[in-house]
Chain A
Amino acid sequence: MGTSVCNCKSEKFKQLELIIAEHKDQPGSLIPVMHEAQELFGYLPLEVQTVIAEGLDVPLADVYGVATFYSKFTLQAKGQYQINVCLGTACYVKGAQLIIEKVADMLKIKVGETSQDGLFSLDATRCIGACGLAPVMTVNEKVYGQLTVDKVEKIMKEYLDTVGRDKNANA
């Protein structure tokens, strides 16, 4: 394989080797290994996919194919604050699209992206089962319900203040 990484210094890559060794001879080990790798790294960058491909002796193209097929896998590092805005039916009809646009606008990133400083990432999710609170947004484990554009602006401003970022500054 063309890309190789020196993983001798990285603790996480050592752990990844252990994960691979544990699953190596089991049939259908690719997805479990990718799951654990994503938990470990937070996402699946090319270097990690390459190590998995070499370790399990499957083509890198297969790993990439699986990583892009399942929406739970991500190729992008997630932010310290992972923001998910529900676009399920109930939230959507209650105006979730405007909520997500407001958040994107304030963070100056697109849906699915992570801010360059690594603080915030924004994703749209399917129904999270809190339709009674629609429209709903989560920031890491915290749930915010019955949102309006004004409310979400306040919430986001607090987060931006916490991290000491001017909401108008470029991310």
Chain B
Amino acid sequence: MDMINLKIDGLDVSVSKGTTILEAAKELKIDIPTLCYIKKLNEVGSCRVCVVEIEGKRGLQPACVTNVSEGMVVSTANKTVRETRKNILELILANHNRECLSCPRNLKCELQKLCNEAGVDNVYYEKKALRSPVSASLSIVRDPGKCVLCGRCISVCANVQNVGVIDFAYRGPQTAVTTPYEQNLSENSCINCGQCIEICPVGALQEKDDTDKVWSAIDNPGLHVVVQVAPAVRVALGEEFGMPVGSNVEGKMVSALKRLGFDKVFDTDFSADLTIMEEGTELLDRINNGGKLPLITSCSPGWIKFCEHNYQDFLDNLSSCKSPQQMFGAVAKSYYAKRADIDPAKIFVVSVMPCTAKKFEAVRDEMQVNGYREVDAVITTRELAKMIKLSGMDFTKLPDGTFDGILGESTGAAVIFGATGGVMEAALRTVADILTGKDLQDIDYKEVRGLEGTREATVEINGMEIKLAIVNGTGNAAKLLDKIRAGEANYHFIEVMACRGGCINGGGQPIILDKSKTEEVRQRRAEGLYGIDRSKEIRKSHQNPEIKELYADFFEKPGSHKVHEHLHTHYVKR
């Protein structure tokens, strides 16, 4: 390989041809600050924060898009660079609505951190008139007044998710990241995944805050307020309180929820087990009775909306099972209401989700049981952290609590739903036991684990070959479905998660301030979930005693008429 020798800040370094100055500097442990840059996703050199001086070159050059050349002499922090960088940041701030104290991104803002490090103490430029007003969909709030025009959200929306509902529009000082004709995101094919929120360096993109709804439900003595928590929340919530990434804070989280005043603290893992019972049965039914294949999972509401907009010929492939969030609500307002002898009209179901699309899912027309809305309010992991902080709890010191009964018991199969491949593995554990009629002990399906965007595997169970595919990120799902359409691939069962890495990296999860650590964070959150799975005594959904009880008392058996009324749904062309 051609090696290039250069000098950065007086230090010699040798890197391969085609390396950028930014990457070469990293070899020397020199951290050139960046704002718009995301490796391999948004390498556009638009913000100019990473400018460096190159001997013999006029002006400063952006390190993120300038390749090294032989004999180059680079200064990354001399007086000119320092002053210019500070000036660039001041110019960005001049057009940025600086309400840091009340901004939800305060202390998790990349711009704030950069300004701090660059010593920006005063902004000399007059504040310009700001762009369009704040607009909110059911899931996502856009605040153009805080947008720094880095273009990261555009890249993730178009190139990772294949959605592309936002882009730059207008020109010059009017330039804005916007939707066509300033449509609200709820009026177009936005899938509410919130990956734009996760990648936004500032507070220009946020989830729609629903904590007020939850507080007023808790404060209403006439309501019986129950809460469910999705698997991925428990391995990420701790980050909001300075705990190591991937820490399992399930016990503390349960204690916190009880102290917040919820009447019952339940677990979405319970309904994840229920989903497996139904989806596993559906898979076997479709395979044995010539049903539509491949069967595609339906847990991820971002993926569902994506499919409804763009792959309508696959709607019959989607599992008719509601997602665990909705199954929980349906059971809470029917079976639980009956058992606890509470009027379902007085039950208020709150979900804590790693996901912004769940806010949209909860208000879909179909998601009602016996005329009651299944889920009344959805908050993200970040919103839960906010509620805990507001109530003044010392989260890290809380004792470990346990989930309440009848909708709180869960298995290892359920908790791994939060990572890509988890739903597949959970389904396989149950399907394998059904097909063999045994209680199989070898249940780690390592071939379906991992964080790659697309994975394929074939498993043989009792002589039956099941071809599987697992994709995460709707862009990867699109590629896979295109292959199936073209007849180049086929499977029995496909798991799709809208977000890269699955729910652990959902649009409602704690913001990763250092974006270069994203992969590592995903890995550690996933490890957290698989760790909980390993520690569980029961690791197969069909062995969950509360699930057995639920079928015995109420639903009879998977796929029964009553089950279809409560736990299954249909999809619409959008």
Residues of chain A having any CB pair with chain B under 8 Å: 1-2, 46, 49, 58-65, 68-69
Q: Is B363 an interface position by the 8 A CB rule? A: no
Min CB–CB distance B522 → chain A (angstroms) = 26
Q: Is B166 an interface position by the 8 A CB rule? A: yes
Do the beta carbons of A59 and B164 come within 8 Å of each other? yes
Which A-chain residue is minimally distant from B187 (CB atoms)? A2
Of the candidates B163, B168, B188, B309, the one whose C-beta lies within 8 Å of that of A65 is B168
The 8 closest A-B pairs by CB, nearest first: A59-B164, A64-B180, A61-B167, A65-B167, A68-B169, A65-B169, A68-B170, A69-B171
A16 vs B180: C-alpha distance when bound (angstroms): 20
Do the beta carbons of A46 and B187 come within 8 Å of each other? no
Do the beta carbons of B574 and A2 come within 8 Å of each other? yes
Instruction: Tell me which residues across on chain B come within 8 A of A1, comparing CB atoms.
Output: 188-189, 309
Q: What are 8 inter-chain pairs, A to B, with CB distance below 8 A? A: A1-B188, A46-B181, A58-B164, A61-B165, A61-B169, A64-B167, A65-B168, A69-B171
A69 vs B170: C-alpha distance when bound (angstroms): 5
Q: Mark B177-204, 1 if CB is under 8 A from A, else 0.
A: 0111100000111000000000000000
Q: Mark B553-568, 1 if CB is under 8 A from A, else 0.
A: 0000000000000000
Instruction: Tell me which residues across on chain B come within 8 A of A65, comparing CB atoms.
Output: 167-169
Which B-chain residue is minimally distant from A60 (CB atoms)? B180
Of the candidates A2, A46, A49, A59, the one whose C-beta lies within 8 Å of that of B167 is A59
Which B-chain residue is minimally distant from A1 (CB atoms)? B189
A52 vs B181: C-alpha distance when bound (angstroms): 16
Do the beta carbons of B189 and A46 come within 8 Å of each other? no
Per the 8 Å Cβ criterion, residues 399-424 of B in contact with A are none
Do the beta carbons of B164 and A64 come within 8 Å of each other? no
**Given A1-B309, A2-B189, A69-B170; A63-B180 close (CB under 8 Å):** yes
Instruction: Tell me which residues across on chain B come within 8 A of A62, comparing CB atoms.
Output: 158, 164, 167
A59 vs B179: C-alpha distance when bound (angstroms): 10
A68 vs B167: C-alpha distance when bound (angstroms): 11
Do the beta carbons of A68 and B171 come within 8 Å of each other? yes
A91 vs B574: C-alpha distance when bound (angstroms): 52
Per the 8 Å Cβ criterion, residues 101-116 of B in contact with A are none
Count of A-B contacts judged by CB separation below 8 Å: 50
Of the candidates A49, A59, A64, A68, the one whose C-beta lies within 8 Å of that of B158 is A59
Give the interface residue-count category, chain B. 20 to 34
Min CB–CB distance B156 → chain A (angstroms) = 13
Per the 8 Å Cβ criterion, residues 76-135 of B in contact with A are none
Instruction: Tell me which residues across on chain A come within 8 A of B181, comparing CB atoms.
Output: 46, 64
Min CB–CB distance B486 → chain A (angstroms) = 15
Of the candidates B170, B179, B187, B309, the one whose C-beta lies within 8 Å of that of A61 is B179
Which A-chain residue is minimally distant from B181 (CB atoms)? A46
Instruction: Tell me which residues across on chain B come within 8 A of A64, comparing CB atoms.
Output: 167, 169, 179-181
**Given A2-B188, A61-B165; A46-B180 close (CB under 8 Å):** yes
A68 vs B181: C-alpha distance when bound (angstroms): 10
Min CB–CB distance B540 → chain A (angstroms) = 42
Q: Mark B150-175, 1 if CB is under 8 A from A, else 0.
A: 00001000100001111111110000
Instruction: Tell me which residues across on chain B come within 8 A of A63, comparing CB atoms.
Output: 180
A52 vs B73: C-alpha distance when bound (angstroms): 48
Which A-chain residue is minimally distant from B183 (CB atoms)? A2
Per the 8 Å Cβ criterion, residues 376-435 of B in contact with A are none
Starting from the known contacts A2-B188, A59-B167, A62-B167, 6 additional A-B residue pairs (CB-CB under 8 Å) come to A60-B165, A61-B166, A61-B169, A61-B178, A64-B169, A65-B169
Instruction: Tell me which residues across on chain A come within 8 A of B189, comparing CB atoms.
Output: 1-2
Instruction: Tell me which residues across on chain A come within 8 A of B166, comparing CB atoms.
Output: 61
Instruction: Tell me which residues across on chain B come within 8 A of A59, comparing CB atoms.
Output: 158, 163-165, 167
Min CB–CB distance A78 → chain B (angstroms) = 19
**Given A59-B167, A68-B169; A49-B180 close (CB under 8 Å):** yes
Do the beta carbons of A61 and B180 come within 8 Å of each other? yes
Min CB–CB distance B181 → chain A (angstroms) = 6
Instruction: Tell me which residues across on chain B come within 8 A of A2, comparing CB atoms.
Output: 187-189, 309, 574
Instruction: Tell me which residues across on chain B come within 8 A of A49, comparing CB atoms.
Output: 180
Min CB–CB distance B179 → chain A (angstroms) = 6
Min CB–CB distance A67 → chain B (angstroms) = 8
A63 vs B179: C-alpha distance when bound (angstroms): 11
A1 vs B179: C-alpha distance when bound (angstroms): 13
Instruction: Tell me which residues across on chain B come within 8 A of A68, comparing CB atoms.
Output: 169-171
A27 vs B163: C-alpha distance when bound (angstroms): 21
Instruction: Tell me which residues across on chain A come within 8 A of B154, comparing CB atoms.
Output: 61
A68 vs B180: C-alpha distance when bound (angstroms): 10
Min CB–CB distance B344 → chain A (angstroms) = 34
A49 vs B181: C-alpha distance when bound (angstroms): 11
Min CB–CB distance B221 → chain A (angstroms) = 43
Do the beta carbons of B574 and A61 come within 8 Å of each other? no
Min CB–CB distance A101 → chain B (angstroms) = 23
Min CB–CB distance A45 → chain B (angstroms) = 10
Instruction: Tell me which residues across on chain B come within 8 A of A60, comparing CB atoms.
Output: 164-165, 180, 188
Which B-chain residue is minimally distant from A50 (CB atoms)? B180
A62 vs B166: C-alpha distance when bound (angstroms): 8
Min CB–CB distance A165 → chain B (angstroms) = 30
Min CB–CB distance B140 → chain A (angstroms) = 15
Which A-chain residue is minimally distant from B166 (CB atoms)? A61
A62 vs B189: C-alpha distance when bound (angstroms): 14
Which B-chain residue is minimally distant from A67 (CB atoms)? B169
A59 vs B170: C-alpha distance when bound (angstroms): 16
Interface centre among A58, A61, A64 (most CB of B within 10 A): A61
Instruction: Tell me which residues across on chain A come within 8 A of B171, comparing CB atoms.
Output: 68-69
Instruction: Tell me which residues across on chain B come within 8 A of A69, comparing CB atoms.
Output: 168-171
Interface centre among B167, B179, B309 (most CB of A within 10 A): B167
A14 vs B413: C-alpha distance when bound (angstroms): 54
Min CB–CB distance B144 → chain A (angstroms) = 14
A58 vs B180: C-alpha distance when bound (angstroms): 13
Min CB–CB distance A157 → chain B (angstroms) = 35
Min CB–CB distance B311 → chain A (angstroms) = 13
A58 vs B309: C-alpha distance when bound (angstroms): 15
A59 vs B168: C-alpha distance when bound (angstroms): 12
Which B-chain residue is minimally distant from A65 (CB atoms)? B167
Which A-chain residue is minimally distant from B154 (CB atoms)? A61
A145 vs B329: C-alpha distance when bound (angstroms): 74
Min CB–CB distance B85 → chain A (angstroms) = 28
Which A-chain residue is minimally distant from B180 (CB atoms)? A64
Which B-chain residue is minimally distant from A70 (CB atoms)? B171
